[in-house]
Amino acid sequence: MKPKLLVFELWGMGDLVLATPFLRAAAGSFEVTLLAKPVAMELQPRLWPGVEVIPFSFPWTAFKGKYYFIRWPWRELASLMRQLRSRRFDLAVSARCDPRDHILLWLTGAKRRAGFPRWQSGLFLTERLSLPVPSAHRYDQWRVVGRHLGIELPARSQITPPARESGTVLIHSGAAQSVRVWPLERYQMMANQLRQNHYQVQVVCDPSQRAWWTAHDEDVRVPASVSELIALIDTAGLFVGNDSGPGHLAAIMGVPTFTLFGNNLPSLFAPLHAESEWMEGGPCLYKPCFDSCRFAKPECLLSTGASEAWIKLKAFAEKHLERKRPVR
């Protein structure tokens, strides 16, 4: 019988996707249970079919009002902890240096608890791991956890999913936070340039962006679920978008991605596909600031113009899709 492993990844879709190589590999040696946001339930059949998911949204993972304690679901939290303790996990792990994770690991009653300690949170761990260098990619923390469990994960540069047959360029203009959204009119310019160069283009957006695209005569798709987003990505040969979950999902599904970065660093959060490329955005003393910009507008992201991005995207599309363009 395999040992029972509980894995914590409590944040968004992009973070869950970055854990995918670890989850897939761990499922070969452990009976893996993943504690994650409900979105993991839709990702599980495609990304980690051998992993059980326990869905839960922890209040501190919200973007606003995370410490309004009176509104925390205390009864549900207590019930969840009782459920986890009853499972008697052999090992529980987190790849974040987050004391909140480590307290939860302790509350599960797991025999062994491994993580990256911070602010004396090592008191809640039985096995304390050392973080990679500060410049390391977020995925490298999962590699450290894997190595601790006897699992050797490939380097990010070695992750190249099977090539895609489609020649369609999927442009996704949305993101969970507005500071990561490159201007829609610039995405429209990129779509027009791609079509003028005889590439097939499908624009996908968030519900809040639908009216803008419709007003600009675009046959835009607005997925109502992650399952619908996965179906759209399955039709793509290239993905163009913001630094957000859909781009990470496309990359792990085998689609080379072209990402418009702003307040984050590609060296830390580039999608897991060896052939993906990006525009890094302008310099800022506060990068990476993730989703909290100190200025009225994210100038680091806005500094990337459509003409500049098109030069690089054109070469990227020619590299991957040249033989898939319709003959004119």
Give 274-294 pLDDT, tens digit per residue.
999 999 989 988 888 877 788
d(CA 324, CA 24): 31
Cα(299)–Cα(294) distance, integer angstroms? 10
Which CATH code, of 3.40.50.880, 2.40.240.10, 3.40.50.2000, 1.10.580.10, is assigned to 4-158? 3.40.50.2000
Token couple for 274: 């060896």
Query: Residue 76: phi, psi to the nearest 5?
Result: -65, -40
Q: How far apart are the first and last CA of the chain?
A: 60
pLDDT band for position 326 (cuts 50, 70, 90):
low
In this prediction, residue 69 carries a pLDDT of 83
Longest dimension (CA), the chain: 66
pLDDT at 328 over 70: no
Q: Which part of the chain has CATH 3.40.50.2000?
A: 4-158, 168-324
Superfamily (CATH H level) for 168-324: Glycogen Phosphorylase B; (3.40.50.2000)
Give dist(CA 317, CA 169) in Å, integer. Answer: 8
Query: Residue 250: which H helix or E strand, with range?
Result: helix 245-252
Q: pLDDT digits over 130-178, tens only?
A: 999 988 999 999 999 999 999 999 999 898 877 777 889 999 999 988 8
- Rg of the chain in Å (alpha carbons): 21
